[in-house]
Structure 1
Amino acid sequence: MQFESQPGVPLKVTSLEDSRQGIEVVAVSHSKTEEAEPRRIERATVFVPDGKVKHFLKRFESYSKPARKKKGERRHEDMIDPISTLRLATLRCLWTDTSETYPEENETIWWEVWLRRQDGNELERLMEFAAAQEIVVAARRLMFDDRIVTLVRSTPAQLAASIDVLNDVAEVRKAKETATVFVDMGPEDQGEWALELRERISPPSADAPAVCILDTGVTSGHPLLEASLDSADCHTCEPAWGTHDHHGHGTEMAGLALFGDLVPVLASAERVVLRHRLESVKILPPDGQPENPPDLYGAVTAEAASRAEIQAPERRRT
């Protein structure tokens, strides 16, 4: 159930709980009225176990009686006076992030789901529900004395489809995306995410400026790089080395130079409009080839820059 306060009047949140009945305040949020001088409205979402709604009904009945009360009788004014509206909680009522970040009904996001520990089967119910709905639950979770925190990827409509799961949920937030979710995926899942991102990329123009990577070479056929790195812009200081990436480091640096942090890019559904290109010059020898002598480091670096400039002398580059 969700209790909403009168504008400018705080709820007495503690009065809405009764631990003996299993009645618990699970989330508190607030907003402002649209007035010249905005007033604060508080909302408290309260979990009420099956068969315990009468706890509140008795209080409302007592409150509704005439103002004159018998000695020792409670009318629960401190709890009820501030209340403006009362409604059954929905998934949105359990949302404790900023209201503008709540997803559209059919928008898929990663949710940070806080489960209330009750009978020890909360996670099992969530996993069974997720399997039936074909939604993703992250493999890792945080375990606290009274809460289990996990990540779920779904739409609001999917997540709100189970009454049993909603009864277990204390609060939900938008998951703060970290690289762990993507790093822990298997190669097949990572590939699917990369291909999905590739479909959202608008490649840079032919005359766009370039970032020139002086490293171990770059894998130009990588699905996230191929539209921004022409084979003619892949060079090497020694023909025997080849232009391919023999180590992986150069390709990783190329991705960083092109996209920055990939986590928000992957997590978003928006188009990615690229405004710069890539160039690559391999300056480090692969295994089995002699190392560059330290006294030639400067000369090798200068040669690498020259190779890129000779290929495209008018191009702006970093």
Structure 2
Amino acid sequence: MVNNEDDLLQSFMAYLRNERHYSKMTLKSYRTDLLEAKRFWQDNGGFKGWQDVDRRDVEIFLQNLAQKKSARTTQARKMSSLRSFYRFLTKRKLVNYNPTQTTVLRTKNHKLPQFFYAPEIKQVFASLKGSDPLTRRNLAMFELFYTTGMRVSEVSGLKTDQIDLNLKIILVHGKGNTDRYVAFDDETKVALTGYLNESRKKLLANQDDHNYVFLNKQGKNLTSRGIEYIMQRVFNGAGISGKVHPHELRHSFATAMLNNGADLRSVQELLGHVNLSTTQIYTHVTMKHLQNNYQKYFPRNNEKDEAKK
């Protein structure tokens, strides 16, 4: 029986760990966010208990974050932590009231996902034409990112038995212990086959084989951070300036699919989004792309530009 404030929080953390199978870093993030809110309420009028927090308390906490000029992403994450916590408590009947249910975080100046245009992707792939093991690995890895929309954690944890080269599909073990299938094209198949048949064996050398697809120079599993480092070096070396991140390849996949006529539900399934609203952010990206093309190519707009000259 849950009978005190620590028990409420511990019960929620146990749920995230044992039922949702969240990582240690994600669990730490949830706990930090919730304890920060609790401390704020304690310092500003007292904190009687999680069950006594009301909508106004949540709004004041969010206002405080805004006044401290916390990043919009930080505000959204903390609100998400509170919302998930109270949704859990109300479903388990541990509290009678969900103070986050009608609280909305304003999304003014919401940052759109960054993505690469097709010529930029081709530019990167063209730079990876060597036959050495690391170049073949990088080509296979970035082809896979771009043609499947997989998360960096999913690519890092990918094992050889999850790939069916004949059917050109991958069984992806996604967030929250959920599985989905993604497809890949012939070019990606060629890159993967060349890497798996030749280069991976050379990278593995005498190391024990734990069946991870992408290996580092020491023959060990390539971590998410290692992939980020490699991408930065490869993309900058190919002439793509600035800071880059594997998630931008996921954005590029989703944007390309929608720009070429895919329906939102299909893209949601391929990306592994639980809610369609998460996928809908890409419609804003494609709409912006559409508007830019309209301004650039519609005849009357061109006539206006000519008249200004």
Q: What band does the TM-score fall into relative to the shorter chain?
A: under 0.3
Per the normalisation by structure 2, the TM-score is: 0.21
Per the normalisation by structure 1, the TM-score is: 0.21
Point out the structure with max Rg over C-alpha.
1
More strand by share: 1
